[in-house]
């Protein structure tokens, strides 16, 4: 089922990078038993995410992480004493006062339980993924939000601080809050991973992936304009590949006409007003 939904979401949105999965490995025995290549180097977690989006499947543990914030956000190590007070962020001159820094730190998501390691890779290769992550541009993010609201209403668990964009916003947050989040990322990941300037991220708990895909597709014909629909059709190998045919003759604007009050100009023109 994941293979089908990964393909459907990728083609409906026109994603440039692979959708990946993240699986949390709680115990050393579980980590060692997993017959997947180890990451084998020490980098930031967001670099691991990008490596997975380049069609690589692997596992990583504490020794592979070169970013302290990611270790804490993902539950691989305990927080340093300077974190909860906000002093770490305040010392970087990112916030006006310690009170603001403390408040921001309080709301940055961190997985509370101890985790030994993680597995990352293309989502279709991770049957037991806990979180799905993918990159979007602004238009694609609009469609993701519309697909979400089709299923669940307005998102109520959105949060970001422009810091820890991948480890906290896209991984720890969706897992801890059990809900989708999107992120404008952060300066660190944009520098290290060389994401395009228009790229943002979406993270969600795995059980939301299939219904979100369905919501995006069910709203496609009523929201996307003919130009976008032509692009979607060009990406398809079969007209019914999405489970819904692309229809250029419908749009929610047409369906809504009976519920729109005519303008004064239209009423005068039609002789309805004197």
- Tens of each residue's pLDDT in the chain, 274 residues: 588 999 999 999 999 999 999 999 999 999 999 999 999 999 999 999 999 999 999 999 999 999 998 999 999 987 777 777 777 878 888 889 989 888 888 888 889 899 999 999 999 999 899 999 999 999 999 999 999 999 999 999 999 989 999 999 999 999 999 999 999 999 999 999 999 999 999 999 999 999 999 999 999 999 999 999 999 999 999 999 999 999 999 888 777 777 777 665 566 666 665 5
H or E element in which residue 55 lies? none
> Contact 227/233 with Cβ under 8 angstroms?
no
Token readout for 27 is: 């115990």
pTM for the full model? 0.91
> Contact 151/211 with Cβ under 8 angstroms?
yes
Token readout for 173 is: 């947050």
CA distances from 187 to 97, 167, 184, 196, 267 (A): 21, 13, 10, 12, 54
- Going by C-alpha positions, the residue among 145, 205, 198, 138 that lies closest to residue 171 is 205
Please state the length of the chain. 274
At 43, give phi and psi (nearest 5°): -145, -175
H or E element in which residue 229 lies? helix 226-235
Cβ atoms < 10 Å from Cβ of 173? 30
> Contact 120/64 with Cβ under 8 angstroms?
no
Q: Rounded to an integer, what distance in angstroms lies between the CA atom of residue 96 and that of residue 82?
A: 17
Domain ranges of the chain: 2-75+110-218
Q: Rounded to an integer, what distance in angstroms lies between the CA atom of residue 50 and that of residue 189?
A: 10
Q: Rounded to an integer, what distance in angstroms lies between the CA atom of residue 144 and that of residue 128?
A: 23
What are the residues whose beta carbons fall under 8 Å from the beta carbon of 85, sequence distance 6 or more? Answer: 98, 102, 105
What are the residues whose beta carbons fall under 8 Å from the beta carbon of 2, sequence distance 6 or more? Answer: 123, 124, 126, 127, 209
Token readout for 96 is: 């006006």
Look up tokens 């895909």; give the residue.
213
Q: Rounded to an integer, what distance in angstroms lies between the CA atom of residue 182 and that of residue 57?
A: 23
């Amino acid at each position: 089922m994941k293979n089908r939904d990964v393909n459907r979401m990728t083609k409906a949105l026109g994603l440039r990078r692979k959708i990946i999965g993240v699986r949390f490995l709680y115990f050393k025995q579980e980590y060692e038993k997993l017959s997947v290549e180890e990451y084998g180097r020490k980098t930031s977690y967001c670099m691991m995410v990008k490596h997975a989006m380049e069609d690589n499947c692997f596992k990583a543990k504490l020794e592979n992480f070169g970013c302290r914030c990611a270790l804490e956000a993902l539950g691989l190590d305990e927080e340093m004493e300077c974190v909860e007070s906000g002093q770490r962020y305040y010392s970087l001159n990112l916030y006006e006062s310690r009170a603001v820094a403390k408040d921001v730190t309080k709301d940055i998501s961190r997985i509370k339980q101890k985790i030994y390691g993680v597995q990352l890779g293309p989502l279709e290769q991770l049957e037991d993924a806990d979180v799905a992550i993918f990159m979007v541009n602004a238009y694609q993010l609009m469609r993701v939000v519309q697909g979400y609201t089709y299923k669940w209403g307005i998102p109520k668990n959105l949060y970001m601080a422009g810091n820890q964009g991948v480890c906290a916003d896209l991984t720890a947050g969706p897992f801890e809050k059990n809900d989708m989040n999107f992120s404008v990322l952060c300066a660190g990941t944009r520098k290290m991973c060389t994401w395009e300037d228009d790229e943002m991220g979406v993270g969600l708990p795995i059980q939301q992936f299939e219904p979100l895909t369905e919501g995006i597709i069910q709203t496609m014909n009523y929201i996307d304009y003919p130009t976008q629909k032509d692009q979607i059709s060009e990406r398809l190998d079969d007209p019914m590949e999405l489970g819904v045919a692309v229809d250029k003759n419908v749009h929610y604007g047409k369906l809504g006409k009976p519920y729109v009050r005519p303008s004064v100009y239209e009423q005068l023109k039609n002789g309805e007003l004197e």
